[in-house]
Amino acid sequence: MRIPMTEYLIIDLDTERWTCRVCSHDLGDARGNYKEGTLVYDRDPREIHQSILDPQKYEFTFAPDPTFCRILEFYCPGCGTQLETEYVPPGHPPTVDMLWDIDSLREQWTKRGTNPETVINYGPGEEAVADFSPALGSYNSLSPSAPHSHS
Ligand SMILES: [Zn+2]
């Protein structure tokens, strides 16, 4: 069973591996950080957020200082799809943005009895869904007392 976790990442519960949703490239142990299986582009943030003011005239130009901030872009080695981006201090290792309880994930999807790839559509495309609450039912709620949005 393959669970879409983001627009471009899947967890394959049969193999317990992170997988690229575009090309099915193996990105590593699903109980670990998928970023370890990606290509990383450590970018100068000024390439993305260019100066508003002339850097020859002003010390502060509204462009991020590359000695304080880097942009890490994570790409699939199989197809080159950009999977994630994050802003970190220079030299900071990639962050861990998702760690999943694989056993619980498997149990919840088995109880639902639906195909996750049919129910969850992060996109890309016109059929992308933003609210999965109806499809996920009561298993979507971590705490029964947590407030719900039904917008
Ligand atoms: Zn890929």
Mind giving me the DSSP string for 63-89? SPPTTT-EEEEEE-TTT--EEEEEEE-
**Ligand 1 centre distance from Cα of residue 40 (Å):** 14
**Ligand 1 centre distance from Cα of residue 20 (Å):** 5
CA distance 6 to 18: 11
- pLDDT for 150 beyond 90: no
Give this prediction's pTM: 0.81
**Ligand 1 centre distance from Cα of residue 34 (Å):** 12
> pLDDT tens digits, residue range 26-59?
999 999 999 999 999 999 999 999 999 998 999 9
CA-based Rg of the chain, rounded to a whole angstrom?
19
**Ligand 1 centre distance from Cα of residue 49 (Å):** 27
- Sorting pLDDT into bands at 50, 70 and 90, what band is 137? low
CA distance 51 to 60: 9
> pLDDT tens digits, residue range 59-70?
999 999 999 999
**Ligand 1 centre distance from Cα of residue 8 (Å):** 8
- Classify 85 in phi/psi space as left (phi over 0), alpha (psi -120 to 50) or beta: beta
- pLDDT for 135 beyond 80: no
129 or 81, which is more confident?
A: 81
CA distance 100 to 6: 13
